[in-house]
Amino acid sequence: MRLRFVVSLLALLASPAIAGDIEPRLTLPAGNHAVALTFDACSGAVDERILDELIADRVPATIFVTHRWLKRNASATARLLAHADLFEIENHGENHVPAITDRPTVFGLPTAGSLSAVSQEVTGGAAAVTAAFGRSPIWYRDASARYSRDAVKLIGQLGYRIAGYSLNADVGASLPAAAVSKRIRMAKPGDVVIAHINHPERPAGAGVVEGIKALLARGVRFERLDLAFRPPTG
Ligand SMILES: [Zn+2]
């Protein structure tokens, strides 16, 4: 029931993109004035600048990891595990493959190309998260943050919510630090912010840290997706 509601909500919020893709927008439930920080760990390394800041100021965050990233970042995984009170770990796929079924590439990335490949990407990523963190993920975000319509339906049937966002902080860690910081400082209550935690070699991460510090100074409260979307108890 709840899942069906979320799926129809996503369909309602989705804006049509190229070739009928869905690029879901996500904000926190109405009345929640926190900001959700979500970070993608696609492949590559870990940005210690961001991880250090989150831990130092006890900022909760939701981190989407791929199996590919987990295999290469054992010590970062250990740090995430050591701060399980701060970090919710969710599924960014097995090999960072976009959930697109109707064409071979998107943004230069090879797509899944079929529903069976989408299924393998989702379930492979989920199994890796469960193995590493001892908790099954409930959210899925694919490699391009856009999805074919049949893939959206399948991911819902597999039991996962699709994690869109409402504020793109770093555009794939491609922006200069000042631009990233400015975008994060513009966060409004209820925003779900997306940024990347796997590019320590780029300037964007410094802007993420600056932006978070500015929001903290403003008294903004941060909340993870699992807690923000927790069903009411009692
Ligand atoms: Zn990614």
9 in any annotated domain: no
| Residue range of the domain that includes 104 | 19-228
234 in any annotated domain: no
Lowest mean pLDDT among 7-11, 24-28, 82-86, 206-210: 7-11
233 in any annotated domain: no
pTM comes to 0.91
6 alpha carbon to ligand 1 midpoint, in Å? 23
40 alpha carbon to ligand 1 midpoint, in Å? 5
188 alpha carbon to ligand 1 midpoint, in Å? 24
161 in any annotated domain: yes
64 alpha carbon to ligand 1 midpoint, in Å? 8
Any long-range contacts for 68-76 (C-beta under 8 Å, 24+ apart)? 68/42, 68/43, 68/94, 68/95, 68/96, 69/41, 69/42, 69/43, 69/44, 69/96, 69/198, 70/128, 70/129, 70/132, 72/43, 72/44, 72/45, 73/41, 73/45, 73/46, 76/41, 76/45, 76/46, 76/51
146 alpha carbon to ligand 1 midpoint, in Å? 11
108 alpha carbon to ligand 1 midpoint, in Å? 13
59 alpha carbon to ligand 1 midpoint, in Å? 21
72 alpha carbon to ligand 1 midpoint, in Å? 15
70 in any annotated domain: yes
144 alpha carbon to ligand 1 midpoint, in Å? 7
43 alpha carbon to ligand 1 midpoint, in Å? 7
- At residue 11, the pLDDT reads 47
71 in any annotated domain: yes
- At residue 107, the pLDDT reads 86
111 in any annotated domain: yes
Using pLDDT thresholds of 50, 70 and 90, give the confidence band for residue 108.
Answer: confident
**DSSP structure string for 128-174:** HHHHHHSS---EE--SSS-B-HHHHHHHHHTT-EE--BSEESSTTTT
Per-residue pLDDT for 173 more than 60? yes
173 alpha carbon to ligand 1 midpoint, in Å? 10
233 alpha carbon to ligand 1 midpoint, in Å? 33
- At residue 196, the pLDDT reads 98
209 alpha carbon to ligand 1 midpoint, in Å? 19
Number of structural domains the chain divides into: 1
Q: What is the pLDDT of residues 162-172, one digit of tens each?
A: 999 999 999 99
- Looking at residue 75, which CATH number applies to its domain? 3.20.20.370
- At residue 134, the pLDDT reads 97
Using pLDDT thresholds of 50, 70 and 90, give the confidence band for residue 17.
Answer: very low
14 in any annotated domain: no
